[in-house]
């Protein structure tokens, strides 16, 4: 037995729900946020740090023998939704050609593009899921972020001259500042989730010796490389 039903406004206005010829129910999004005072959402902003130690955010390390992992991981209490990553990579003579962090500008380059390349991935119950692989030049980072934000022209496209980000490991040199927007690039409307109470994590893996030249690596002395994660924590209901 089946019954036909009309859905009618619960406030007694007599207004019925519309269904069009295609069989679609008409919906409208309110401009207003839902009324709730539960405060379930908290701003989240952290650097990716070496082995998630919460301190070491400079990625100029030697990953040529043992891969070095910079990550943020799930928290015990709240889900973390990562909406975007802010990458800064800088170094003398940095460019969008055959170069990573100014590697090509050294008098005797150890390498130009990275021999092994970096990898960005996350890990959840599905295992390791790659976000970006073979990141062996600056341009690969800009491409991963789909050219966001876009500015500048010609040889200065996407380049900030003489930038000096603060915080640990600060330096002053030309650099790129790509931003990976998860809703825009991957269609995750709320961002990438690290589920609470799990070992979920977002990882940037370094597989080359990208220490500065003075320490034996292949990048110039004024190189800099770090990533900040933006998003929100969501408390359980």
**Footprint on this chain of another protein (rule: CB under 8 A):** 1-8, 15-33, 37, 39, 41-45, 81, 83-84, 86, 88, 148-153, 156, 159-167, 170, 172, 177, 179, 181, 183, 190-191, 228, 230-232
CB of 108 to another protein, least distance (A): 28
CB of 66 to another protein, least distance (A): 30
CB nearer to another protein: pick between 137 and 173: 173
CB of 17 to another protein, least distance (A): 5
CB of 193 to another protein, least distance (A): 11
- Write out the two tokens for 232: 């929100």
CB nearer to another protein: pick between 115 and 152: 152
CB of 93 to another protein, least distance (A): 15
How far CA 68 is from CA of 103, 204, 205, in Å, comes to: 19, 8, 6
CB nearer to another protein: pick between 107 and 155: 155
CB of 165 to another protein, least distance (A): 6
- Write out the two tokens for 197: 């109470």
Longest Cα separation, the chain? 84
- Write out the two tokens for 207: 């597989």
CB nearer to another protein: pick between 22 and 76: 22
- Write out the two tokens for 76: 């015990």
How far CA 170 is from CA of 38, 91, 164, 223, in Å, comes to: 39, 11, 6, 9
CB nearer to another protein: pick between 81 and 204: 81
CB of 24 to another protein, least distance (A): 4
CB nearer to another protein: pick between 70 and 81: 81
User: What is the DSSP code string of 151-198?
Assistant: ---GGGTTEEEEE---STT---EEEE--EEEHHHHH--TT-EEE-TTS
| Distance of alpha carbon 173 from alpha carbon 113, whole angstroms | 19
CB nearer to another protein: pick between 13 and 66: 13
Cα–Cα nearest to 215, from 64, 11, 96:
64
Environment class of residue 188 by beta-carbon count within 10 Å: exposed (0-12), middle (13-18) or buried (19+)?
middle
- Write out the two tokens for 234: 């969501």
Could you tell me if 100 and 92 are in contact, meaning their C-beta atoms sit under 8 angstroms apart? no
């Amino acid at each position: 037995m089946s019954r036909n039903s009309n859905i009618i406004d619960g406030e007694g206005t007599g207004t019925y729900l519309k269904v069009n010829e295609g069989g679609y129910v008409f919906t409208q999004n309110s401009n207003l946020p839902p009324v709730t005072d539960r405060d379930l959402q908290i701003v989240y902003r952290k650097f990716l740090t070496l082995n998630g130690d919460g301190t070491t955010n400079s990625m100029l390390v030697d990953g040529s023998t043992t891969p070095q992992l910079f990550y943020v991981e799930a928290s015990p209490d709240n889900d973390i939704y990562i909406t975007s990553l802010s990458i800064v990579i800088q170094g003398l003579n940095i460019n969008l050609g055959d170069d990573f962090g100014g590697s090509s500008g050294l008098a005797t380059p150890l390498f130009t593009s990275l021999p092994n390349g970096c990898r960005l991935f996350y890990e959840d119950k599905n295992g390791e899921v790659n976000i970006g692989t073979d990141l062996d030049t600056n341009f690969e980072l800009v491409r991963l972020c789909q050219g966001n934000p876009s500015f500048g022209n010609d040889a200065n496209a996407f380049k900030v001259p003489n930038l000096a980000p603060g915080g640990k490991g600060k330096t002053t040199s030309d650099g790129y500042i790509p931003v990976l927007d998860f809703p825009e690039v991957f269609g995750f409307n709320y961002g990438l989730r690290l589920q609470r109470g799990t070992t979920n994590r977002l990882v940037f893996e370094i597989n080359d010796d990208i220490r500065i030249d003075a320490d034996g690596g292949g990048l110039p002395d004024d190189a800099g490389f770090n990533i900040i994660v933006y998003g929100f924590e969501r408390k359980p209901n």
